[in-house]
């Protein structure tokens, strides 16, 4: 790993969530971290303690007659083997807004600068400890809503995606080097054709590898972001009850008053290994109530944005015009139709429903819980997730930025291949090959521009 020697300023932030807690951490990183900490710390001489030790003492205010702020433990981690590759000091203080904020203010007054979101991780990247895709994995790990998402993020943090990308780039470099040699030293008249043939074969092999990576993307994206699943239906059909069933808790308010859910509710649940981002919407019908009207518009929007729509019908009442409208509105989305309230006498028969092989129809009752298991099975099947059987080391592409770059690299390779097939000279085809190499480099950040970097790290938490 290349360790650069850039000396950035010393940054500080509260790395634990705001609010009351047992312990909180104020983190410092940079060449002045130890000196700044020492100024506000009464205890051992931090410049003499061994690296990777935690040290008892008090935080005091040097500008206010050494007034005591807190009793603490201070971790000292010396460059370069630290999270940021810089000197890192972590003040483990008592949790709570007053203590943490006063300590943060103290370190800022004594020479540190407030860290931007993600700046510690950005330094780990800039100092060469991790690459860009690993930095992104840090954030994914923090944001993981399900065990499968956590696994995929940790896998990426461990550098498994980076290794695959690195190999692909190396394979491209090898082709380009080979081209250079053959162009510069054509040993015989047929050199050019041999080179062209070789470039074609190898480009095809690389293209196939990118394709197989991209084949993991649909699942990968679902793992990372969850499947946007909208629960829609007329008022009072049992949408909120269904959400509660899938959550296994009574989160949404359920009443027999139509129009109970006024706004969109969302929750993450793990259904048979598929992380669902469940969206309980307000019942769709024509309404004059202003609040409800906004809710209804939002549920229409939820259908638009959904990866999966659960259309809930009240099977104990005949199909209404509003039901029909919903069925039409979701005809082109991945959907499952739920005939709910099947504990009551049925008034809808499958013959009333669209004759469409792709749409699964399930009879459910949120009272008896009938149909919950079949629903879970169908969702798992629809998205081919075998969450449990996946190996820890399987590389998955989960990130929209990576997917887009891989897609562009794939397009570049397609251009190379069609060009060579049509008889274009290798030094022309080479340009797109080079382009594929650059695009892949953007995934790992071997190629990056400042603006992109800022955009990426901006999305991080403070203190990470
Ligand atoms: N208190 C505390 N807990 C934490 C972190 C932290 O920074 N502080 N982490 C982060 O936010 C995570 C742990 N991640 C880390 C990753 C790398 C290194 C690190 O020092 N790596 C060095 C040396 C490794 C070694 O000693 O072998 C290296 O890779 O060179 C530290 C933490 C989670 N828990
Ligand atoms: N018998 C029976 N009643 C149900 C079933 N599911 C829901 N209910 C009842 O139907 C009523 C409405 O349920 P909700 O889950 O609030 O319905 P909703 O679709 O969210 O309604 P809105 O938020 O008003 O659009 C409640 O009284 C539930 O107890 C079911 O499967 N069988
Ligand atoms: Mg509701």
The predicted model gives 213-222 an average pLDDT of: 87
Q: What is the pLDDT of residue 61?
A: 98
Average predicted confidence (pLDDT) for the chain = 89
The response to whether 304 counts as a known ligand-binding position is: no
- Tell me the pLDDT band of 220, cut-offs 50, 70 and 90: confident
ipTM of this complex prediction, to 2 decimal places: 0.76
Ligand 1 center to residue 77 CA distance, Å? 9
* Cross-strand pairs, 13: 27
Q: What is the pLDDT of residue 300?
A: 78
User: pLDDT digit string (tens) for 353-365?
Assistant: 888 888 899 999 9
CB atoms within 10 A of CB 249: 11
More confident site: 262 or 156: 156
User: pLDDT digit string (tens) for 54-92?
Assistant: 999 999 999 999 999 999 999 999 999 999 999 999 999
Of all atoms in ligand 1, which is nearest to the CA of residue 77? 20
Please say if the pLDDT value at position 124 is more than 90. Answer: yes
More confident site: 227 or 410: 410
| Cβ of 92 below 6 Å from ligand 2 | no
Which ligand has its closest atom nearest to the C-alpha of 265? 3
Please say if the pLDDT value at position 116 is more than 80. Answer: yes
| Cβ of 129 below 6 Å from ligand 1 | yes
Strands, sheet with 53-61, edge to edge from the N-terminal-most edge strand: 41-43, 53-61, 67-77, 88-94, 23-29, 11-14, 113-114
Contacts of 404 (CB under 8 A, 6+ apart): none
Q: What is the pLDDT of residue 282?
A: 75
Ligand 1 center to residue 82 CA distance, Å? 6
DSSP conformation class of 62: G
The predicted model gives 157-173 an average pLDDT of: 97
User: pLDDT digit string (tens) for 411-443?
Assistant: 999 999 999 999 999 999 999 999 999 999 999
Q: What is the pLDDT of residue 389?
A: 43
Please say if the pLDDT value at position 387 is more than 50. Answer: no
Q: What is the pLDDT of residue 449?
A: 86
Global confidence as pTM: 0.82
| Dist CA 172 CA 134 (whole Å) | 22
| Dist CA 350 CA 362 (whole Å) | 10
Please say if the pLDDT value at position 392 is more than 60. Answer: no
| Dist CA 309 CA 305 (whole Å) | 10
More confident site: 139 or 281: 139
Please say whether the dihedral angle defined by the alpha carbons of residues 407, 412, 413 and 418, taken in this order, is positive or negative: positive
Q: Best substitution site from 236, 286, 372 to test ligand 2's pocket, by max atoms within 8 Å of Cβ?
A: 236
% of the chain beyond a pLDDT of 70? 91
Please say if the pLDDT value at position 292 is more than 70. Answer: no
| Cβ of 256 below 6 Å from ligand 2 | yes
DSSP conformation class of 115: P
Ligand 2 center to residue 255 CA distance, Å? 7
CA nearest 163: which of 416, 431, 457, 395?
A: 395
| Dist CA 138 CA 134 (whole Å) | 6
Owner of token pair 């433990």: 73
If you count them, how many residues does the chain have?
464
């Amino acid at each position: 790993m290349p360790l650069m020697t850039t000396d950035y300023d010393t940054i500080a932030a509260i790395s634990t969530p705001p609010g009351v807690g047992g312990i909180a951490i104020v983190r410092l990183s940079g060449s002045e971290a130890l000196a700044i900490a020492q100024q506000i710390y009464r205890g051992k001489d931090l410049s003499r303690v061994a690296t990777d030790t935690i040290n008892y003492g008090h935080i005091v205010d040097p500008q206010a007659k050494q007034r005591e702020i807190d009793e603490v433990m201070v971790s000292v981690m010396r460059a370069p083997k630290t999270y940021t590759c810089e000197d890192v000091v972590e003040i483990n203080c008592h949790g709570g807004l007053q203590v943490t904020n006063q300590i943060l203010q103290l370190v800022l007054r004594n020479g540190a600068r407030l860290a931007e979101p993600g700046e510690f991780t950005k330094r780990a990247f800039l100092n060469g400890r991790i690459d860009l895709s690993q930095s992104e994995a840090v954030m994914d790990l923090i944001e993981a809503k399900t065990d499968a998402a956590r696994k995929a993020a940790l896998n990426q943090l461990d550098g498994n995606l980076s290794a695959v990308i690195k190999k692909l780039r190396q394979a491209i470099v090898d082709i380009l080097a080979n081209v250079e040699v053959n162009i510069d030293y054509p040993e015989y008249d047929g050199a050019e054709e041999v080179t062209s043939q070789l470039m074609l074969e190898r480009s095809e092999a690389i293209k196939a590898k990118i394709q197989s990576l991209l084949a993991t993307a649909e699942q990968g994206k679902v793992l990372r972001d969850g499947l946007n699943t909208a629960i829609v239906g007329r008022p009072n059909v049992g949408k909120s009850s269904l959400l509660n069933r899938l959550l296994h808790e009574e989160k949404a308010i359920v009443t027999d008053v139509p129009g109970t859910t006024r706004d969109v509710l969302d929750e993450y649940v793990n259904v048979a290994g598929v992380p669902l981002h469940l969206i309980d919407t307000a019942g769709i019908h024509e309404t004059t109530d202003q609040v409800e009207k906004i809710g209804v518009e939002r549920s229409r929007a939820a259908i638009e944005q959904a990866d999966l729509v659960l259309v809930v019908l009240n099977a104990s009442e005949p199909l209404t015009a509003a039901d029909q409208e919903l069925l039409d509105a979701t005809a082109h989305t991945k959907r499952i139709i739920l005939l709910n309230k099947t504990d009551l006498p049925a008034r809808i028969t499958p013959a009333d429903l669209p004759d469409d092989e792709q749409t699964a129809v399930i009879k459910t009752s949120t009272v008896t819980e009938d149909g919950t298991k079949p629903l879970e099975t169908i969702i798992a099947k629809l998205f081919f997730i075998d969450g449990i059987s996946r190996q820890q080391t399987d590389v998955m592409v989960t990130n929209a930025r990576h997917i887009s770059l891989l897609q562009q690299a794939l397009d570049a390779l397609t251009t190379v291949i069609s060009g060579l097939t049509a008889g274009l000279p290798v030094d022309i085809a080479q340009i797109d090959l080079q382009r594929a190499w650059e695009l892949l480099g953007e995934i790992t950040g071997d190629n990056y521009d400042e603006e992109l970097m800022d955009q990426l790290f901006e999305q991080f938490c403070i203190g990470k």
